Structure 1
Amino acid sequence: DETLNVYLRIKGRVPFGDLYTIEDNVLSCIVPASSQAAKLNRQNRIIIKKFSFSKIFGPHTTQDELFDVTVREKVLDFINGANGSLLTYGVSGAGKTYTMIGTPGDPGIIPRALNYIFRTVCINPNSRPCCKPMPNGKIEILSRSKQEVELQVRQGIFKDQSTSAELLKHERTFLSMQNTLKVTPVGVVDFFPPIFEVWVSFVEIYNENIFDLLEVNSNRGQQRTKLQIGTSHRNTYIKGVKHIFVTTGLEAYQILQFGLHNISYASTNLNMHSSRAHCIFSIKLVSGNNCEEYNVSNFNFCDLAGSERMKKTLNEGDRAKESSKINTSLSVLGRCIRSVREMQKNNSDICSAPFRDSKLTQLLQQALQGKENICMI
């Protein structure tokens, strides 16, 4: 089995169809004459580069087709207790956020996953939290007073969204998405344990610092709290990150939108609204017969910051520093993937992958080593 499935999605309405061909999930690209590689080619021959993928999705692929092939089975595995991660990767403006979030009439992967999860597990929307997942993988049994605190934390996020009109807008958007998705199939689970709770968290890795996007009243003019990485039984986690209890897809979507509002965006020459951070929206599922016999599964939706060349972005100052940090962490990710693949090819138990060279790869280490479900688009 492949440890890491890598899918290619080709953006629609881009006039470069004459520069590539696709055959058997191999993309063959003609290197543009204006590129550095072509200029250094002294033989003046056409240069063709070939790239192999687990599957290639053409420009007319629908959001539903993409979700069905890449994520649906992994989300069902998550409901049944397995961990998983999905990464979207590409240059600024390539369509990563559209793929992940989508539009009201064309929902992306996260809204589809939320719809799939909550239509499959059917949680009582009036239920109270009783087992809170801790960042280190354990749980905390909540007293009545602590249950109330968790409900107030969630309510605080809803109240902090600038206006009731904004909250209503998110509600209408998600309901429109649900209306689009109401005919999609749901998963079949043989057994639902007495405890079945969903918690969400949302962080960004900005300039190699980790910030909680669900921090209420996080003002751009104020110093934000930097979160640290911890380890427990060889598992890496983020210390002090907030987990919010949700009982419906709508609540989870509203919290997602709250976090998106806090992301570090900036204008670059490639994209007017380019995210300058890696963003990780995580869903945790606590399930079990009682608070002594439980399982905590986790699914990460990781929207990687846009990779881009400095001269194309015309970045200076802070933008240049951001681009440097982004490109460095993406380079480390690539080196880790190559190291793991070499280890597998050689049937070796020794992994020399530089996971500790970036926060992103530290957090994804278990998945990149093949110990969890993972795929990249």
Structure 2
Amino acid sequence: MSNSLSEQSSLGSICEEVRPSFLRARDPSVDRLFRPRPDRQVRLFDEIQEEGHTEFNNDETDISSSFDDLSTLPSDTNSDLFIDSNAALVYLRLKPVSDISTAYTVTSTGNVLIAGPPTDTTSTSNNKNKMEQHYSFSAVFDSSVRQDEVYRICIAPRIESSDSFTVLTYGTSGSGKTFTLLGTPSNPGIVPRAVENVFKMNAKNIYPTPAMKLEKGTVCILDDDALAREESLRSILLDACTNLNEDHELLAKTIKTDHHFKTLPQKEVSVFIWISFVEIYNELVFDLLAPPQAHSKANQQMAPQARKCLKIVINDGKVFIQGVTPVYVKSSAETLKLLHWGLQHVSYASTSINENSSRSHCIFFIDVIKYYSSGVAVDTSYKFCDLAGSERLTKTRNVGSRLTEAKGINTSLMTLGRCLDVANNNKKLKTKGQIIPVRESKLTMLLQAALLGKEKLTMIVNVTPTDAFYEENMNVLRFSAIAKNIIFKEPAKPVNKSRYSFVVEKVKSSAEEIIFLRSEVERLKSEMQYRLLEQERVLRKELVESFEKKLAEKQKDHEQSLKRERQMLQRMHDLKLAALKRQYENQIEDMREQYEDGEGEKKRRTLE
């Protein structure tokens, strides 16, 4: 009886959300008092199950059965299983603890957790927590599973398929979410490994300059001024990242030892990789990669400038953060430097549960743009979200600002749970479902692509298997059980059937044609410019070769003419020299004769 009343109250809440009007008539299944009239051909109580248990159906194949003993499968087999599934993949990771509770047991299949009541039953305040409950996951990782195995099973198939996806790490405070996502320099998490994997895959095609980026959710080509600004911003941020080279060398060495990433043989494609990093603190979005403010020597003692709150904009189904700082990166070293630099600005605080507790949700974005020679640009987005831990006031004893932070964290996580719950109900009822309330929280607004089925969703649930956190773990496991049963499907867009619909369709088709023609004009311009540059290069080469040939011919003719002129001058010189020689010889002969005549005359005079 209680189940039937709850079902009718849920249907009544659905009907109350849609009030009749002149433009929208009342549904015939609802009476004047807005009481639902269920279809006689549908039994409303067939699919109602006890709360806290996972749904099992013998007619339909359970997705979790495909992941039994998943750690023993090769990477290629895992990737095929992940790609063919439209369901949200939910994994459970148990934190290594010294006093593990007997209330948590993993079945022999390796993907089902049995949670029974702890030995101290007084610690549970809810009757349903005193019952043994079974929770199915895509895989369960105990304390013996290493970071590289978690990445190989959960993330590597998504990266290799080149599909956009969102990764969530969820759990209580201090359960190891940040360690799973980031790790340490000697034991890196899934984000450093994913960065190395992405750059290794596209190593031969990364473009040297940030010539193309996402602006307002659309791929666009940057002009020279915008390109210069991006290069300047990139150099400023990289200069701010210091003393991180040793960490990256250790990270790269560890990842290279654990994995053997392959480079894709991509031809005639240019790859542009952009990153951005934000946090959601008290339902406000802040940029973690904002460039540092330049301070003069006189203002160095002043307090730091307040951070600027960013606005989330949804335009034509595309979500983007207005004013965020995307940075163009060329290597994994630059990416990890900027990631660690952004982590220095994350809001952390100490609580009674965790000495270094994150007080905000952090989301790290990696956008990979591939521009093919045909003019087609493909954008792939990877989101890594480190959710803040859910907290109970009785355990944390937060007051003041810590209490305000805890309220914001729990509210956003509750909204995320509502979104998953609505998606699960839409799948169960198989009727016209409710609208998923993604706009009620900044977190769900940024993750709406995954919540609406436009991207793949992977969730890694972290649990501390001790009796002290039993009630918190039950809430986390119920949350994950809802996500595990969801198969996301992108909702169909409603068709406008008004008398002006043909005008709207015509305008829409004209706008799409204009956009296509503009992109085609840009492509033809770039192609023509390339052809002109190539033709100019060929003509320049031909002119240089022709000039060099003519210069060589002229030089040869000039040398021959000089040689002929030299020979002529030599002959003239020889002739003149011979004439002078004969002239001087005649003069010498005459002078000799005159001398001899003089000597004879002198002898005659001496004799007389």
> Is the structural similarity TM-score above 0.5?
yes
Give 1:209's aligned residue: 284
Distance 1:77 1:351, change over 3 A: farther
Give 1:58's aligned residue: 142
Q: 5 Å matches for 1:100-115? A: 100-115=181-196
Give 1:130's aligned residue: 211
Q: 5 Å matches for 1:218-257? A: 221-257=304-340
Distance 1:328 1:157, change over 3 A: same
Letter in 2 for 1:293: V
Deviation at 1:19, TM superposition (A): 2.2
Is this contact kept in 2: 1:282–1:300, CA < 8 A?
yes
SS in 1 for 2:362: strand
Give 1:338's aligned residue: 421
Distance 1:253 1:346, change over 3 A: same
- Whether 1:178 and 2:272 are equivalent positions in the alignment is no
SS in 1 for 2:313: strand
2:115 to 29, 48, 65: 29
Deviation at 1:77, TM superposition (A): 2.6
Give 2:199's aligned residue: 118
Is this contact kept in 2: 1:31–1:48, CA < 8 A?
yes
**CA shift digits 1:274-323 (9 cap, x unpaired):** 11110000000111125952111110000001111112111101100100
Letter in 2 for 1:68: R
Deviation at 1:40, TM superposition (A): 5.6
If asked which structure has higher relative contact order (CA below 8 Å, sep 6+), I would say: 1
Distance 1:311 1:291, change over 3 A: farther
Q: 5 Å matches for 1:291-370? A: 292-348=375-431, 350-370=433-453
Deviation at 1:37, TM superposition (A): 6.8
RMSD: 2.3
Letter in 2 for 1:240: G
Deviation at 1:187, TM superposition (A): 4.3
Alpha-carbon separation, structure 2, partners of 1:264 and 1:252: 21
Distance 1:311 1:285, change over 3 A: same
Alpha-carbon separation, structure 1, partners of 2:376 and 2:130: 62
Give 1:284's aligned residue: 367
Q: Which is richer in strand?
A: 1
Deviation at 1:344, TM superposition (A): 2.0
Alpha-carbon separation, structure 2, partners of 1:349 and 1:127: 49
- The answer to which of 287-296 and 225-234 deviates more is 287-296
Deviation at 1:130, TM superposition (A): 0.7
Letter in 1 for 2:353: L
**CA shift digits 1:191-211 (9 cap, x unpaired):** 344321100000001101101
Gaps of 5+ in 1: 162-166
Deviation at 1:235, TM superposition (A): 2.0
Give 2:175's aligned residue: 94
SS in 2 for 1:306: coil
Alpha-carbon separation, structure 1, partners of 2:316 and 2:421: 25
Identity %: 35
Deviation at 1:46, TM superposition (A): 5.6
Give 2:91's aligned residue: 7
Give 2:482's aligned residue: none
Alpha-carbon separation, structure 2, partners of 1:143 and 1:290: 19
Deviation at 1:125, TM superposition (A): 7.5
**CA shift digits 1:126-150 (9 cap, x unpaired):** 811110222x321232233322221
Alpha-carbon separation, structure 1, partners of 2:348 and 2:268: 41
Alpha-carbon separation, structure 1, partners of 2:213 and 2:220: 5
Alpha-carbon separation, structure 2, partners of 1:342 and 1:147: 47
Is this contact kept in 2: 1:236–1:363, CA < 8 A?
yes
Is this contact kept in 1: 2:86–2:456, CA < 8 A?
no
Alpha-carbon separation, structure 1, partners of 2:288 and 2:374: 29
Deviation at 1:367, TM superposition (A): 0.6
Q: Which is richer in helix?
A: 2
Distance 1:36 1:206, change over 3 A: farther
Is this contact kept in 1: 2:203–2:263, CA < 8 A?
no
Deviation at 1:346, TM superposition (A): 3.2
**CA shift digits 1:346-365 (9 cap, x unpaired):** 33453432211111111111
Is this contact kept in 1: 2:289–2:325, CA < 8 A?
yes
Is this contact kept in 2: 1:132–1:142, CA < 8 A?
yes
Is this contact kept in 2: 1:343–1:349, CA < 8 A?
yes
Distance 1:60 1:305, change over 3 A: same
Alpha-carbon separation, structure 2, partners of 1:268 and 1:132: 41
Alpha-carbon separation, structure 2, partners of 1:157 and 1:215: 8
Is this contact kept in 2: 1:193–1:287, CA < 8 A?
no
**CA shift digits 1:228-255 (9 cap, x unpaired):** 1111221222112111000100000001
Give 2:228's aligned residue: 148
Letter in 2 for 1:159: D
Alpha-carbon separation, structure 1, partners of 2:190 and 2:286: 23
Distance 1:39 1:272, change over 3 A: closer
Distance 1:361 1:231, change over 3 A: same
Q: After the TM superposition, which parts of structure 1 deviate over 4 Å for at least 4 consecutive aligned residues?
A: 33-37, 39-42, 123-126, 218-221
Alpha-carbon separation, structure 2, partners of 1:116 and 1:280: 19
**CA shift digits 1:8-35 (9 cap, x unpaired):** 0001134224221111322112333657
Alpha-carbon separation, structure 2, partners of 1:276 and 1:124: 39
Give 1:261's aligned residue: 344
Alpha-carbon separation, structure 1, partners of 2:155 and 2:284: 28
Is this contact kept in 1: 2:121–2:130, CA < 8 A?
no
Distance 1:145 1:38, change over 3 A: closer
Alpha-carbon separation, structure 2, partners of 1:179 and 1:126: 25
Point out the structure with max Rg over C-alpha.
Answer: 2
Distance 1:244 1:40, change over 3 A: closer
Is this contact kept in 1: 2:170–2:387, CA < 8 A?
yes
Alpha-carbon separation, structure 1, partners of 2:417 and 2:322: 26
**CA shift digits 1:51-104 (9 cap, x unpaired):** 2212111111100110011000111233xxx31110101111111111111112
Give aligned pairs, total.
365
Alpha-carbon separation, structure 2, partners of 1:322 and 1:123: 45
- The answer to which of 366-375 and 125-134 deviates more is 125-134
Alpha-carbon separation, structure 2, partners of 1:21 and 1:321: 36
2:154 to 50, 70, 78: 70
SS in 2 for 1:283: strand
